[in-house]
């Protein structure tokens, strides 16, 4: 993440995306941003969708590449199309990119691999600099993708002058604080994560809940658990749980709830209480003080703006998948 951030700062510490050649005039002409990707890379897009919309005031749609490429999407020269891919080689993402080019849209690739196919096909490319992903599951690439997309959103908003400059400064400080906070989060929580993993590694189903941006972290946490530990899991927006899936929560079911947005935490607490009533075992990832609660395990992540909290909140979940797999 240090490398990702530094790759986009000039010697004065300002954001530097000059290579993208994005003028205010061009950005004003954009009425939609598409983020198209697969798997974890698609979740990185989801994590930043709200930030892009709030900062730039441009409707942002996140699409699964294998669906997007076959659905004749409404793309034209007023669309900015962003393709996120760790490898830069995923066939559906590449096909979606070529389709957008045919429709006259500007295409921007965010990949981890210089010279990859998606990079070569796109009009512009920026790189996550995460270092090689050795295993198939994308982990450090995800946190770096969310970091870079967030920096891009801040940069676009600066050009567009579309949001409060104080918010931009706050977010820039939050981005700069990420590497140290991530280290803190890792050091503080490793034992708790290992301990919880030893309690749940024999489970057959795990549920993830979250609201707002925490729902996107729930989706990614659930994907990593499936991919690494071979445990069935589902992620739900916390408020949607009562519309059916709560029927699956029984005595001893593991429910992981993410609460990093203080505006939404009381609501998520109340949803989590509903599953406790049904006997669920709970793990909470939060930056609130929930030490006096009746949750089984609470993992505290450092204080951070909700626009960047997925970068911290996902790390205990990635580690949990790893330790569950190791225990199994």
Q: Which of 46, 99, 108, 137 binds ligand BG6 (CB under 6 A)?
A: 137
Quick one: 249 or 315, whose CB is closer to ligand BG6?
315
Residue 86 contacts ligand BG6 per CB under 6 A: yes
Q: What is the CA radius of gyration of the chain?
A: 20
Q: Which of 1, 30, 35, 40 binds ligand BG6 (CB under 6 A)?
A: 40
Residue 85 contacts ligand BG6 per CB under 6 A: yes
Alpha-carbon distances of 168 from 51, 63, 148, 172, rounded to whole Å: 11, 27, 15, 6
Stretch that binds ligand BG6, among 45-53, 80-88, 213-221, 292-300 (CB under 6 A): 80-88
Residue 114 contacts ligand BG6 per CB under 6 A: no
Residues 273, 198: Cα–Cα separation, whole Å: 23
C-alpha torsion sign, points 88, 226, 297, 51: positive
**Helix axes of 309-327 and 140-160: crossing angle, nearest 10 degrees:** 170
Question: Which among 130, 176, 134 has a CA at the least distance from the CA of 151?
Answer: 176
Q: How far is the CB of 136 from ligand BG6 (least distance, A)?
A: 5
Residue number of the CB atom closest to ligand BG6: 39
Stretch that binds ligand BG6, among 33-41, 149-157, 188-196, 251-259 (CB under 6 A): 33-41
Residue 90 contacts ligand BG6 per CB under 6 A: yes
Residues 46, 65: Cα–Cα separation, whole Å: 13
Residue 216 contacts ligand BG6 per CB under 6 A: no
Question: Which among 312, 197, 212 has a CA at the least distance from the CA of 256?
Answer: 197
What residues have CB less than 8 Å from 183, skipping those under 6 apart? none
Quick one: 90 or 125, whose CB is closer to ligand BG6?
90
User: What tokens were used for 264?
Assistant: 């939404």
Residue 173 contacts ligand BG6 per CB under 6 A: no
Quick one: 144 or 301, whose CB is closer to ligand BG6?
144
- In the complex, the residues that contact ligand BG6 under the rule CB under 6 A are 38-41, 85-87, 90, 93, 136-138, 227
């Amino acid at each position: 993440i240090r490398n990702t951030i530094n790759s986009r700062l000039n010697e004065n510490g300002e954001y530097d995306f000059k290579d993208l050649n994005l003028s205010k005039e061009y950005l004003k002409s954009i009425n939609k941003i598409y983020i198209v990707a697969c798997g974890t890379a698609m979740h990185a897009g989801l994590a930043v969708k709200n930030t892009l919309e709030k900062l730039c005031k441009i409707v942002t749609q996140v699409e699964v590449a294998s669906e997007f490429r076959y659905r004749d999407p409404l793309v034209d020269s007023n669309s900015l199309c962003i393709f996120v891919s760790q490898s830069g080689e995923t066939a559906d993402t590449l096909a979606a990119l070529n389709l957008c080019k045919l429709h006259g849209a500007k295409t921007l690739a965010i990949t981890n691999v210089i010279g990859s196919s998606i990079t070569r096909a796109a009009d512009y490319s920026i790189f996550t600099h995460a270092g090689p992903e050795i295993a198939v599951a994308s982990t450090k690439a995800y946190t770096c993708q969310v970091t870079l997309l967030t920096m891009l959103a801040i940069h676009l908003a600066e050009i567009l002058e579309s949001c409060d400059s104080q918010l931009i400064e706050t977010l820039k400080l939050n981005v700069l604080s990420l590497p140290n906070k991530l280290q803190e989060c890792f050091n503080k929580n490793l034992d708790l994560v290992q301990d919880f993993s030893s309690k749940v590694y024999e489970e057959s189903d795990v549920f993830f809940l979250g609201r707002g941006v925490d729902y996107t972290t729930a989706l990614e946490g659930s994907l990593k658990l499936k991919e690494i530990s071979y445990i069935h899991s589902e992620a739900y927006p916390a408020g949607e749980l009562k519309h059916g899936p709560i029927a699956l929560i029984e005595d001893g079911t593991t429910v992981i709830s993410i609460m990093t947005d203080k505006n939404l935490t009381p609501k998520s607490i109340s949803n989590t209480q509903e599953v406790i009533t049904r006997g669920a075992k709970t793990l909470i990832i939060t930056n609130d003080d929930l030490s006096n609660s009746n949750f089984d395990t609470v993992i505290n992540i450092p204080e951070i703006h909700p626009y960047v909290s997925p970068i911290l909140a996902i790390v205990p979940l990635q580690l949990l998948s790893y330790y569950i797999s190791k225990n199994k």
